[in-house]
Structure 1
Amino acid sequence: MPNPDQLPETIATYLRLRGLEPSGRWKKRRRTRTDDDENQPFTSGRDPKGLGDVIADLTRQAGWDAQLSREDLVLRWAEVAGEETARHASPVALSDGVLTVQCDSTAWAKNLHLMRAAITTQLVRAFPQSGVETVRFVGPDVPSWKWGPRAVPGRGPRDTYG
């Protein structure tokens, strides 16, 4: 058999494919394989991920977890507080770790204030990243003469007759 370097390329290719004698050029061009775990099939990094896992990774990397947890708290308030409580009270603000919940009446606000420790514990368990430290229950919005930008300190105007 003649030297594989002297054969035309088509015949050398044919001989290589038939498994006869690979050419010397093929041996020179052959690369050594490096074993990258990243590029190997069936390794831990190559497993397909679900869409939920991909979105969870994205929100964690973007730093949105706390904001999304706060929004989940508002959306799932009925699950945490209970159906009856959710009909009469709803969260309105969350700032500096204080969740403000507005109630239909002052009676509901007082009853929920007495249950504040249990409700706070449930909120912290259900939404640990929301940053809720305490809960403040307020009654319905009614105008108050005691508070505001134009309130006068002290007793204020009184009846001066008799």
Structure 2
Amino acid sequence: MGDEPTPPEDQPPHADDGLDYARAAARAASKAPGGTPAKRRGGPPSDADRRRTRRTGGGGSGAHPNERDPQLIEGLVERMVISHGWEVDLRVQQVFGRWAEIVGAEVADHCKPETLVDGKLVVRTDATAWATQLKLMAPTLVRRLNEDLGNGTVTIIDVLGPHLPSWKRGPRSVRDGRGPRDTYG
């Protein structure tokens, strides 16, 4: 027991993991001419550290994921939609794009959605008979749209008839007249 060497007073005792040898070799290499200087710990960053950080565009690469790593398109698009506030616009376009699938092919042939603002869906029909039919189907359509697109997306459906010509001006108009009453049934 008395034959173990005692370490000098300025060095810590030897550890079996070999890190003390690695540290000693690094110190010796940094003191040798042409060697690279040892990294500083703590304190403000040096000018060389600032240049290195600027060149690499941040903290550099490492074992942990960061924003410079390859990303999936789905995640990037989702972040862009959220950051720009496009969730509502995408829901509106989803209603317009899937209209025939949601309401059925026959109904979709005779009516088209125009706007969806604050839960109010405005639908234009090509005949007044289809406008009446769609008004009767409105509660069912609201339920079906909310099932597909999320609860509260559509709260009310406003059904408009076809675009009709105005008889307010022109050769066949009469001042203070009642206008065409039964022309379009």
Q: Cα RMSD (Å) of the superposition? A: 3.7
Equivalent of 1:75, from 97, 100, 115? 97
Equivalent of 1:105, from 115, 119, 127? 127
CA deviation after TM superposition for structure 1 residue 128, in Å: 3.2
Aligned amino acid, residue 29 of structure 1:
A
CA deviation after TM superposition for structure 1 residue 99, in Å: 1.0
Gaps of 5+ in 2: 1-21, 31-36, 42-60, 169-174, 179-185
CA deviation after TM superposition for structure 1 residue 125, in Å: 2.6
Q: Which of the two has higher C-alpha Rg?
A: 2
Q: Deviations over 1:55-107 (max 9, x none)?
A: 11111111111112212211221111111111111012233432111112111
CA deviation after TM superposition for structure 1 residue 49, in Å: 3.6
Identity of aligned residues (%): 30
Equivalent residue, structure 2, for 1:91: 113
Q: What secondary structure sits across from 1:132 in the alignment?
A: coil
CA deviation after TM superposition for structure 1 residue 31, in Å: 6.7
- Farther off after superposition, 128-137 or 106-115: 128-137
Gaps of 5+ in 1: 1-18, 33-37, 147-151
- TM-score scaled by structure 2? 0.53
Q: Does 1:29 align with 2:38?
A: yes
Residues 105, 139 of structure 1: 8 Å contact kept: yes
Residues 101, 138 of structure 1: 8 Å contact kept: yes
Residues 128, 162 of structure 2: 8 Å contact kept: yes
Residues 100, 136 of structure 1: 8 Å contact kept: yes
4+ residue stretches of structure 1 with deviation over 3 A?
A: 25-28, 38-41, 43-49, 128-131, 143-146
Residues 70, 130 of structure 1: 8 Å contact kept: no
Residues 49 and 106 from structure 1, CA distance in 2 versus in 1: closer, same or farther, beyond 3 angstroms? same
